[in-house]
């Protein structure tokens, strides 16, 4: 996910007849994050790749495996969308011998095309934009990154907010 330094405007309360304005940075800089959410307890893991490609995706898989305590020999089921770098990373991990360490711990589920509502991490990005980045001026990239890093750190322990966002109630 790319969070842009450029201001994004969303719904807001303002006096009737007024024209709210939000300053905006003129540049096109952004902070990139790759993330994994554990729906059962709401823990969030984020990585900060410089760019997105199959190599940084595989690196983030390994980082997640190293930090994710699954309690014994439980497998990690990873939901992937249809980004080209995800498809290539999945294909390589499933076939190439140098990725056996990932295959031993992780299985992949690919989502159907155009179904972000089924991907738990997309819900995290949505709530992050709504609560932390919309209607806000960022004077520089470091202030945006610091705010996002702090927000994501607050969600790295088990929490009800993400657990409830990423689960479905059975009727």
pLDDT digits (tens, 9 = 90+) for 68-110: 866 667 889 898 999 999 999 999 999 999 999 999 999 999 9
The least confident of 69-83, 122-136, 147-161 is 69-83
pTM: 0.80
**What are the backbone angles phi and psi of residue 82, rounded to the nearest 5°?**
-100, 25
pLDDT single digits (tens) 22-73: 777 677 788 999 999 888 888 999 999 988 999 999 999 999 998 886 666 7
Q: Give the N- to C-terminal CA distance of the chain in Å, as an integer.
A: 33
Each as own residue / partner, the long-range contacts of residues 145-150 (CB below 8 Å, 24 or more positions apart, any chain) are 145/31, 148/3, 148/31, 148/33
Q: What are the structural domains, with CATH classification, of the chain? A: 29-157 (3.30.420)
- Residues 111 and 53: their CA atoms lie apart, in Å, by 18
CB contact set of 157 (below 8 Å; sequence gap of 6+): 43
| Displacement of CA 171 from its chain's centroid (Å) | 28
**What are the backbone angles phi and psi of residue 5, rounded to the nearest 5°?**
-70, -20
């Amino acid at each position: 996910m790319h969070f842009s330094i450029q201001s994004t405007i969303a719904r807001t309360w303002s006096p009737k007849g007024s024209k709210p304005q939000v300053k905006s940075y003129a540049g096109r800089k952004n902070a990139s994050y790759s993330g994994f959410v554990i729906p059962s307890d709401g823990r969030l893991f984020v990585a900060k790749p410089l760019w997105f490609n199959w190599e940084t995706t595989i690196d983030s898989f390994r980082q997640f495996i190293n930090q994710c305590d699954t309690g014994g020999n439980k497998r990690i089921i990873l939901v992937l969308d249809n980004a080209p770098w995800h498809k290539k990373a999945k294909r390589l991990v499933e076939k190439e011998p140098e990725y056996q360490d990932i295959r031993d711990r992780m299985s992949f589920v690919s989502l159907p095309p155009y179904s972000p509502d089924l991907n738990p991490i997309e819900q995290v990005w949505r709530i992050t934009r709504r609560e932390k980045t919309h209607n806000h001026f960022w004077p520089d990239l470091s202030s945006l990154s610091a705010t996002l890093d702090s927000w994501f750190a607050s969600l790295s322990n088990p929490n009800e907010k993400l657990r409830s966002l990423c689960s479905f109630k059975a009727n």
